Amino acid sequence: MVGALLLGFVAGVIARVLMPGDAFRDLSGPMSWVVSLALGLGGALVGYVIFTLGLGIGDTDIFDWGGILGAIIGTLIVLALAGYFLRRRQPGPASATRPPEDQGP
């Protein structure tokens, strides 16, 4: 379990360094660490599904240090998807979302 947490954290940190301008760049301190850990664990799972189950390469352990490259690639995919969906959810400027006011006569 400790190995899985370390793998997730390392993969999350490396992926966040490789992808500048990610959606979580404004976080700092412990919250940034938690996000890196969660992204890395999710990315390790995505990398396992893509490489081991999908392509048939790699070993059968999900959170194994031998799969660090797949975990980093999976984390980059998760990070890109998270950034895409988080940016879509953010509201635009207030003037762009309000209907035009009635000018009257």
pLDDT tens over the chain, length 105 residues: 777 888 888 888 888 888 888 777 777 888 878 888 888 888 888 888 888 778 877 776 666 677 788 888 999 999 888 888 878 876 655 545 555 565 656
Rounded to 5 degrees, what angle do the CA atoms 53, 54, 55 make? 105
Cβ distance 4 to 63 under 8 Å? yes
The pTM assigned to this predicted structure is: 0.72
Q: What is the reported pLDDT for 104?
A: 56
- CA triple 38-79-77, angle to 5 deg: 110
Q: Domain coordinates of the chain in residue numbers?
A: 2-87
All residues at 6 or more sequence positions from 76 whose CB lies less than 8 Å from its CB, including other chains: 15, 18, 19, 43
Please tell me the predicted confidence (pLDDT) of residue 61: 67
What's the pLDDT score for residue 95?
47
